[in-house]
Amino acid sequence: MEARFSYDKAAPGVYKAMLGVEQYLENCGLEESLLHLIRLRASQVNGCAYCLDMHWKDLRAIGEKEQRLYSLDAWRECPYYTERERAALAWTEAVTLITVGHVPDTVHEEAQAHFNEKELADLTLAVTAINAWNRLSIASRTIPGTYCAAKSYPLEKGA
């Protein structure tokens, strides 16, 4: 596969606008691991190879266990996620798949049990942002594999 074009070269304003959203999210108060987890899940749903590569690496770099990453596609059936993470993952899927029944009241009620209004607004922005990144990357055919995570922690034994 060959990249079609690069947003940061062709239209730097697009890239700059998206980075502004990311800077807000970095400081919004939601856990870094949760943000990366929902980014990875939305990227799985959307089939964005570049973002899958990026957020898997970001999660590993902050010490996330492999088991939680390779089981993310089946998070409902695995005991590895907290109730807060489960609520965020369900919210992520509902917002990502917005044309499939919108966001059901049951998903909203579960999210409200674990997130205050500001956190839910920030979580929604994070889901919206990764969906935008996925669409930008897929449309331009950004090539996966070149991304390097900013942080790095040693791998756990047996991970």
Report yes or no on 147 lying in a domain: no
Rounded to an integer, the average pLDDT of 48-62 is 96
> What is residue 108's predicted lDDT score, i.e. its pLDDT?
98
Local structure of 159: helix, strand or coil? coil
Report yes or no on 43 lying in a domain: yes
Report yes or no on 156 lying in a domain: no
Of 118, 116, 71, 110, which is closest to residue 92 (Cα–Cα)?
110
Q: Write down the mean pLDDT value for the chain.
A: 93
Question: pTM surpassing 0.85?
Answer: yes
The total number of structural domains in the chain stands at 1
Q: Predicted confidence band at 37 (pLDDT cuts at 50, 70, 90)?
A: very high
Report yes or no on 2 lying in a domain: no
Residues spanned by the domain of 132: 11-140
Report yes or no on 1 lying in a domain: no
CA distance 94 to 123: 12
> What is residue 151's predicted lDDT score, i.e. its pLDDT?
63
107: Cβ contacts below 8 Å, ≥ 6 apart? 90, 91, 94
Residue bearing tokens 């492999």: 66
Handedness of CA 142, 143, 144, 145 (dihedral sign): negative
The 10 Å Cβ neighbour count of residue 18 is 16
Rounded to an integer, the average pLDDT of 101-128 is 97
> What is residue 159's predicted lDDT score, i.e. its pLDDT?
38
Say which CATH number the domain at 129 has: 1.20.1290.10
Report yes or no on 126 lying in a domain: yes
Report yes or no on 151 lying in a domain: no
Report yes or no on 107 lying in a domain: yes
Give the pair of three-digit tokens for residue 18.
Answer: 């998206």
Question: pLDDT per residue over 132-152, tens digit each?
Answer: 999 999 999 998 988 998 765
**Model confidence at 154: pLDDT above 60:** no
